[in-house]
């Protein structure tokens, strides 16, 4: 693969790089360090301890702009970049990832619509890993860098031949829940397995938690809330649940991205209106 000079490739179990990437069945591509663990715990846990399923992760940005306080209050941007690489490697080791790549791009480069090199890098990674399932940010997220990253992923997928693409692509929850989607359109991602591993993966990002954001509590709370509120007239069937948006059709370059995503919103709007009108 031809990655940028700052990119870091980490294979937790010491397998050779090519083989470690090629065995991947489930791949997550996120904007920041820790996004993967919050949005894609379901595939991490599905692959954990399995010989025939392997989870791989890619983080696109360098993490330089994160808030910091306490132990990290005086850390420079370069210090934060280094510590966030270390934390992401810890997560990859704990989660038994097949591989972890950190591309280390500044956020401004990811948000640059004219920058095609990042999509080209991602296309190379996807081609090498050839995952069956791919996970990234949902396109109704409220974080600009998350949206930009998801669009780079879609651009990368559109660069690939059909037989190089994954079977399914999912957009996951981080900076906006997807509980608003119509139930029949939600992708249910079971996060109930190995709760001890889930806690470890969320808690390993100390620079973010100590920096003033209790992400580990928020991630667990969202999963518990989704599990309970997913069905109003049935007992809980999940111990933890994340939702995702099916982005698979967006691999086709003929599909308008904005129209596809706002279609979910329109259908939700219509469902709310119809429910109200039933009782007027």
SS (H, E, C) 8-23: EEECCCCCCHHHHHHC
Buried b (16+ CB within 10 A) or exposed e, 167-202: ebbbbbbbbebbeebeeeebbbbbbbbbeebbebbb
Q: What is the pTM of this model?
A: 0.95
Angle at 117 between CA 2 and CA 87, to 5 degrees: 70
CA atoms within 13 A on the CB side of 98: 28
Q: Which two tokens stand for residue 73?
A: 């209050």
**Which domains can be identified in the chain, with CATH numbers?**
8-278 (3.40.50.10320)
Q: What's the angle, vertex CA 137, arms to CA 156 and CA 272, rounded to 5?
A: 125
Cβ 178 vs Cβ 39: under 8 Å: no
Q: Are 157 and 257 in contact (CB under 8 A)?
A: no
CA distance 93 to 146: 24
Alpha-carbon gap, residue 97 to 215, rounded angstroms: 21
Instruction: Measure the CA–CA gap between 92 and 167, rounded to whole angstroms.
Output: 24
Q: For residue 246, what are the β-bridge partners?
A: 170
Task: Spell out the per-residue pLDDT of the chain, length 280, in tens.
Answer: 889 999 999 999 999 999 999 999 999 999 999 999 999 999 999 999 999 999 999 999 998 777 666 777 777 888 888 999 999 999 999 999 999 999 999 999 999 999 999 999 999 999 999 999 999 999 999 999 999 999 999 999 999 999 999 999 999 999 999 999 999 999 999 999 999 999 999 889 888 887 678 888 989 999 999 999 987 767 778 899 999 999 999 999 999 999 999 999 999 999 999 999 999 9
């Amino acid at each position: 693969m031809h990655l940028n000079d700052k990119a870091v490739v980490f294979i937790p179990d010491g397998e050779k790089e090519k083989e470690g990437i090629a065995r991947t069945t489930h791949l997550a591509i996120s904007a920041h360090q820790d996004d993967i663990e919050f949005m894609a715990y379901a595939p991490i846990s599905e692959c954990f301890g399995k010989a025939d399923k392997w989870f791989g992760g890619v983080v696109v940005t360098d993490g330089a702009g994160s808030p910091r306080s306490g132990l990290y209050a005086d850390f420079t941007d370069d210090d934060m970049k280094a510590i966030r690489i270390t934390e992401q490697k810890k997560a990859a080791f704990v989660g038994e990832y097949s591989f972890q790549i950190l591309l280390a791009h500044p956020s401004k480069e990811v948000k640059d619509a004219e920058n095609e090199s990042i999509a080209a890098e991602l296309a190379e990674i996807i081609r090498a890993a050839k995952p069956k399932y791919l996970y990234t940010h949902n396109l109704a997220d409220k974080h600009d860098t998350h949206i930009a990253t998801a669009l780079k992923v879609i651009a990368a997928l559109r660069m690939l031949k059909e037989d190089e693409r994954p079977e399914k692509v999912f957009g996951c929850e981080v900076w906006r829940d997807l509980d608003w989607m119509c139930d029949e359109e939600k992708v249910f991602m079971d996060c109930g397995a190995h709760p001890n591993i889930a806690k470890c993966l969320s808690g390993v990002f100390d620079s973010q938690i100590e920096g003033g954001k209790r992400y580990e509590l928020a991630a667990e709370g969202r999963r518990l809330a989704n599990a309970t509120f997913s069905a109003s007239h049935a007992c809980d069937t999940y111990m933890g649940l994340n939702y995702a948006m099916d982005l698979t059709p967006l691999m086709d370059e003929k599909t308008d991205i904005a129209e596809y995503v706002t279609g979910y919103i329109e259908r939700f709007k219509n469902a709310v209106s119809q429910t109200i009108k039933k009782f007027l």
